[in-house]
Structure formats: structure tokens, C-alpha cells
Chain A
Amino acid sequence: MNNQRAYLFLICSVTLWLISCEKEITIDLPNVEDKLVVEGKIEYDGITNTPPIVILTKSTGYFEPTDLNSLQELFVHGADVTVTVDNVNHQLTELCLSDILTLISSGVIDSSLVEDLLGASLENLIGFEYCLYTIIDNSLYGEPGKTYKLTITTGGKTYTSTTSIPALNPLISVWYLAQKDDTLGFAWARMHDPPGKGNAYRWYARRISKNADGEEKDAAFVAPFGSSFEDKFIDGLEFDFAYDRGHPPGNHDDDPGEAPHFFKQTDTIAIKFCTIEMQVYEFLRIMEVEANSNGSPFASPSTIPTNIDNDGLGLWAGYGVTYDTIYGTP
């Protein structure tokens, strides 16, 4: 036993505070020049003729005020916006919410289309002077296979971008599947990706069944996180996939009786499934990651790959849209 010595370490921690603490700090950020932000799209759904819609805003200092007045001031007015297709230029007109409401009431524009685009119900926007550029005389609408060039001139600078609408790829079938408690589930779909890589898609869903107030549960189509995907791993395959219920950006509150991320068995869900170009996919996927990371230490800051030239921001996107409906069962 003499050459055997045993050590026993008894480590006792008197106090152990492992509390990561947080505090708000003030950061002096340099002032940078405002940039033009383009949120433009042109759709084809094979049913209605859809005009291009372009929203122009400016970027703003990070800690600038965020009240409605300040946001309203970000809209860019009086820009010269044209869309060129088949070598023909089409001038877009600026319309603000008051004009839009008039057009909706006169049946020129469908209210749901505007709500989809804004991602918010028109009701919520009353009193907020929301502006966009579009064509209301039906002289231009989206068609698959065509390429659309967007030209914007404002503040002495000209910005351009091009996009096209890929051929439609309807879902084979859609259904609801319970994931939890038999009554909560996800929206499922079966699709077939055509052979050849380079196809990309975007998924939206909208609960069109009514809530307790008698309104549709979602005022507009909602793109859940990870709404877009490409065919790198699914090229030429027929397969099933599912999406949870997303939240409209900037509003993560659920109505009473709703479970976050889940659809209900009783929900009637409209599905909007789009074909998109790869460059649109690249923008959307990084945009979604950025919108959800907010300076996490495990993410590195990314520049979102815009397709607007001349130091502009945002996206000019073509969508080939098909609609489906999952009917809720009581």
C-alpha cells in the first residue's frame, strides 16, 4: 500500500452563478446614404391577368424612428418606372392607398391581390399612405417564359433589373396531416420536379376559413420560414413535403385558440405554389435567414444578393403561380 496513493478531489462549489446577463446598449453607427429599395413582382397564374407591381422605398439609418409617419416617408414618389417586354416599353403609374381603394371599389384591382403584395390586410393600412407603381389598363400582364426588364429613374439615378416567369409546375396533390394531438398539423403536398437542375419554387399558404370575428384567419398569403427551395437534391423526383404555418412578417402573435406553427384540422387552407428563377431563390433564402438572425453570434452577416443594379437593394421577381386548396374537416 505504500506505493499506492489515492487522490480524491472533492470539488465543491460554494456559489455558482452562471447567469448570462443582457443589457441594452447605445451604439453610434455611422450615417450612410439612403439607397433605393425595390420590391417588385410580376405574376402569371393562368387565370387572371396580373399586372406588375413595384414598391419603391428608401433604406434608412438603423436606429431611425419606426413610427408610421417615419415609415410612410420612406416611400419614393415620382419615379419613372417602366417594364420592357418584347422590346416594348410599358410605363407604370404611381398609385397610393387612397387611389387603390378607389380602384378596388370600382373593380379594377382585386383587393386580395393588393393584400397579398402588402402582406397585410387593407383594413390595417387605412390611414397609412401606402404607394406602389403598377399598370391598371391591362396593357401588360405576366406570361410564362417571357423576360421583363425593369427600369427605374429617380433622384438622378437609373436602376435596372430583369426577371422572367418560369413555366408553371402545379402540385400533384395537397392534404392536411395531423402532427400533434390529432387536431394540429402541417400542410402537405406532392410534387414532381422536372429533370434538369436549376428549378426553384416558393410556397405560400393562407387560412381562408373564418375566425371568431367572421374574418378570414389570414388576410393574405403567408410565406413560412424557408418558403423557397431549389431542386439541387430533388432533381427529377416525385416526393412529398410539408410546411408549417408561417407568420406574417413583423407579427408573431397568434389569435386566441391557435397553436403557433400549426394548422388546425378545421382550417381551409389556400396554397399558392410558385415557380421562380434561381436568382430569385438566392435572394429569398438569404433574405429569410437575415430577417430571422438579427446578429446571432452563430450567423455571419450576409449581403442579400439583390438583382437591382447601380447600388440598389431589393428584388424584381417573376412568379409562375398555381393555386390549390386544402379543405378543413370539422
Chain B
Amino acid sequence: MKSVAGKVLFAAFSVLYPALVFCGLEFWGLSPRRLSLMLIGLAFVHFFNVTKGRSKGSGGSQDRANIVKNFALVALMFVCGAIAFFADNILFLKFYPVLVSLSLLAFFSFTLWKKPSFVFRLACLGDKSIRTSPSCRFVERYCDRVTLVWCVFFVVNATIALGTALVGSDRIWSLYNGLISYILIGILFAVEFMVRKMMQKKMQSYIPVCDLQRDSRPDGAIVCFDGASERTWSEFVSDVSKVRRFLESSENRPWILHCEDSYFFIVALLSMLQSGRKAMVTANRQEAFIKEIKKPGYGFITDTPFGDASAGAVQIQDILNGPEVETLWNSFDKNAAEMVMFTSGTTGEPKSVPKRFSQFENELYELVKVFGDDWVGRKVYSTVNHHHIYGLLFTVLLPTATGLPFRRHRIDYPSELVSLAGEKAVIASSPAYLKRLAADAEKPIEFKYTPIIYSSGGPLPEEVARKCEGITGYWTTEIYGSTETGGIAYRQSKNGPIWKPFEVCKMSIGENDCLNVKSSYILEPEGFTTGDLVEIYDDGRFLLKGRADSIVKIEEKRISLPEVENRLKQTGLVQDVRVVPMVGSRQYLAAAIVLNAEGREKFKDLPKLEINNFFKKHLMQFIENTVSPKKWRYLEELPQDTQGKIKMRDIQALFGIPESPNFKILKMKREPGTVTLKLVFPETSDFYSGHFPAFKLLPAVAQVDMVVTLAHALLGTSQTVSRIQRTKFSYPILPNVPAILEMSYKADAGKVAFSYTLEEGRALSSGTLVMTEAANA
């Protein structure tokens, strides 16, 4: 009680000090010596406060600093008071306001150096939930800045106070220190308060998706946009109501969900979650696949016309174009809401992964905590598919939870990125897109605001990340994770290849030296063991060391595929490479290589055999001949799926096509049921012989023959054609001019549809082949 009284006394006298000194001199005719007793008295009161306070202090470094500061202040007050007393001089009495400013400066700046800063501590005292909220880092950063502003203020104030003490009259000194200085403090408080209100408005209000209320956002808040058109929150609520009404008009059943438009997707997904329908999210909408997963009674909702009428696909646009309905909206239990995701897995077979919505919700919380403060005031763009976990989280659920507007359609081409130059953008991307961006962009894009770019789905080569930084000004943040685990860790490769795990992820080494993860968004208590070899450091960060299946045996000799790949990269001529094990009459390795600019230059006119021999010779220094690759392909891009995932199986399929002098494969993209190839037919190809020797063009029969060969090797069709339907040869295929061959196979009809086009899109030829009988796909 005494100590409180002492503090009040001290504070009151400190505030009134300039006025008291002025009155003492001007009106009461007190000598400086007498007035100095007030300062000395004040010093005693402060000394008493400080010694009382210390006995119950907790002894943290901040407390210690505070005590040192207080004693220094007391000492200086005594010194100033004593000098004023003995010299009977007013000057040293006028130093007191300077001392107060300096002592506050010392304290504030110390807390900036030894965090948390004073303002942040005050904020946390006022609102205990700050420390656990996802926007904690954002608040802390803001408070640090405010602390810094106060430091600057104290420097300025101390300087002016010193000036008024040294050269100003008594009147000016007391006017400044007794009034103006307090008004300035008041103004600073008021301005900071207004800025804080503005920042709070700008800070996206994160609300868990399951807790969103009908009025969680202003009616006019932009949910998504596409070109000039926008959808607002009230339209969103009404659209969800319509879909809910539709879903709830029939008995509860699981729904397969595929919508290319992210807005339609989130409307449908949220409707299912709110009305307790299980949502099965699939990127693959091949008829055969939908047929496989669509058990009797299951619904199927989509925004793209679906060929097979028997699937009973519901077009979401039909529901949304229907009449208005009463608002249906409620929060839901995240632990009860069920979803299913599909992953292609590393083997290529689609695998279903059951999910609870709590898993996504918990991950969102973590993502907002780590990245949220970077997103303030931005719009969300995507180059990835939102039917996969990373796209789902970053491009659909995050904007919904944080209230950031998102673009309804993906950015497909690197060239489109320029159109975002004026926007504040968050871009969820993948190595597939960024690699192309790095290869295509000729000059940096002049972004008005540096975009924030994420990449996931596979490792982003450091070289590509560096190039993208040159183009966009941002070092891509990579997310490492999987459908089963969600996000595990993140990195920016400018800081090296080490991954920093999300706080909630607990790493350990599991079976086969693979990474095991436990987190709040993995349901199994034993966690999930990935297929990635790992080295974990003491601080929890880790290094990935390739896939466990990356160690193979070739004729009893163990070899690590990444090792061979890294040795090939050492030549400095290779941009990308994958080495795969093959089985023929013997086991051997095969290497698919994308040469870099130096490599292309070096090997420009050399026969392939000599290029092979160059690499073989290099490898011989490190590895045995038996495990040195026996077959080689030089491509423009490694075979991948549309997600940009490079699968061993696709590369093996590529090597399954015997090398031929007649054609060369430059690129390959494979999805279940379809394959797209970039082919070139050299002028030396046998296909041209006997056919217009002077003007070489690829005969129709050769084009069809190519389709038969490649469809057999890559799509598993039979090798013989029973009928040819609807062929059209509209433009010749010329030597050395690359053509894109797209083939899709419908197994039940035994039909292969094909088309040859030029890269810029010109149609060359197309048709459908009916194969003799459906071979095993």
C-alpha cells in the first residue's frame, strides 16, 4: 500500500515538477537551493519505490535492467539536486526532465534489444489471447515499431528539454517541459491509437472455416474475382444456401466433388461440410476413374460437362442459377466433418486418403501463425490444382478463413504473370510452373509490390528458385508435405537446403530411416512415416536425403539413384536428371537428362553416342561400370504429370519405347488414360524414304504407326488396329519441326483418340483408332 502511495506521489511530482519549479522561482520567490530540496526529496521517494519494488521482482533480465536504470536515475537526481543545492544554481534543477526522458529511452530501447518489447508486453497484459493467436507475430512486429517510435520521441524530447534548460528562459523551459512536451506525448498516443485501428482493419480477420457465421464478414466483402467480375460475401452466403438446400433435399450420402472454378468448389465444399455430407475431392475426372470411386448411392457434383450420362453428374451452375432460397448457414463440428482426398502416390495408382476437416483446420491455424502477417491486404492467385491438398489449403481454404479475395481460375501460363504486376499478390505455385517461368521469362517483371510465392508438390531446384527471384524479386517459400501429413516444413533455398518444421510437427526417424511426423493435423497417434530419407538436427530442422526407394540393387550391387544423379549434375552441363532402374534381360540403370545451356552448346552437333560416352566416362571416376546408366535420353523436360510430379514409373515407361533413329521424344506428360508427347522427326528418318524425296513430309501411315507404337508403350493398348475412324490430315508434319502428339485411350471402347498439333496450336492431323481388343491398361 505504501509503495503504491509512493509511486503516485512520485508520478504526480514528476509531472508537476516543471510547473512547481517555475512557480517557486516566479511567484513564491524560492531560491534554487530551496527548490533543490524538492528534487532531492523526489529522489528519496523514487529510491524508496525502487528498493521496495525490487524485493518482489522476478529477477528477469528486463527487471534487472529496469532496476539498474532506476538506480542510475536516482543517483543522477541526487547529483543534480546536490549541485543545485551547494551552488544555489537553477541550471541543474532544469536537467530533471532530460533525465526522465533519457531513463525512459534507456528502458524502451533495452526492451527492443531484449525482446519482447515494452509495448508488446503491455498489449499482452491487456489481451491475454494475443500470445496464442495466429496473428501474434504480426501484433508483435507492430508493437516493436511503436516502441521504436517512442524511443525516437524520447531522443527528440530529451534534446529539446536540454536545449530549453541550457539556453531558454525559465518561462520557456517550464512552458515546454510542463506543457508542450505533455501535449506532444498526448498527440503521439492519439496518432498511434488511430494507426492501430487502421492496422486492425487491414489485418485479415482469421476465423476458422468451421466457425464462420453468416455475418462473419461485411456483406460487400469480396470473396473472389475473375477479370472484372466479383462475388461478394452476401452472394457467397446465398450460393451456399442454394447448394445446401439442394443437398439437404435428398438423403444423406457422400458426394464426389470436382469443380475447376475455385469459387464453385468452395461453395460446394462448404455446403457439404455444413450439411454434414461427406466430400470426396478428386482432381481426376476420367470417366473410368469416376466410375471406380462412385459407389451406388453416391452423388457427383461438378462444374464441367461430364461425358458419361450414367454417372448422374449434377452441374453446380444449374443449382446456382435456380431461384433464391432462405439463408441456410451454420458453423459445424470440424471433428465430425468427413472428407476424402485422392493422391496419385509415388507408384501412380490412385489412393484414397480419408480426412477429418479438423486436420485442415488445424493446419490452417498453423499456416496463418507462420505466414499470416505477410498476407495482409493481398489477393490470392494460384497455378495449382485445388483438388490436391496444397492447392486446397492455400488457394481455397486460406482465403476463406482469412477473408482474402482469390482468383477463380488458375494462372496457366508463365506469360500471364505479368498481368499481376500491379497487384499485391500471394501466388500458390509449384515447381512445374516456376521451372517454366524461369525458362520463359526474358526479363524481370516490374512488380509494384513484391509478390509472395509458395511452391509445393516436389523439390524446387535451387537454380530455378534463384532465377525466379531474379524475375519476381521473391525467393520462393517451399512447403514440404504430403496428402497424408499435410504441411511438414518450409524453406527458402537462399538459406540452404535445410527444412524448418512447422512448430506443431514433431520429427523423428521411423522405419527404414525415413522421416516420421506427428502433428495436430495427423490423426494417428503414431504419426505418419514418409518415404523420405532424412537427417534431423538437434534444433529440429532437417535435411531430406532422397526417397527410400531411391536405393536400388543392380545385379546385386547397391547404388543410390540420387548419387548417380548428383554425379551427373557435377559436370555442370545438366539442368535436371533422373536415373531409374530398369529390368530387361538384365537389370540396369537408365538416365533421362535435360541439358542446361552449357550442355546444349557443348553437345550441339555431336552424335548421341558421343554424349553418352562423355557422361559414362565422367561417372567411371566414381562408380562401377555395372551401375553406370546403360540407356540415355536427352529431353527438353523430364516426363511429368500435370501437377509437375516426376514419377519413376513415367520415366521407366519412356525408356520402354526403344530408341529409334526415326523420331525423338522431347517431352512427355502422362495422366491416367492420356499422354502428351513432344516429338520431332529428323530429316534422316526412314519415314520419309520413298515419299516425295524432294519435299519431305511425314506420311499419314507413319503418323498412325507412331500412335500405335506409342499408345501400346504408354497407354497399354493392344498393338493392332481393327478400324480407323474420322482421320483428318490437314497440314503436313515437316522434318525437324516439333509436333505435339496427344493420345487418350478409352479402355472399355478400345479407342485411341489422337491429334498432332504444332506447339503454337495449329492442328496438323487427328483421328481415332479402334484397337483389336482392349489390352491390360
B is a partner of A: no
Residues of B within 8 A of A (CB): none
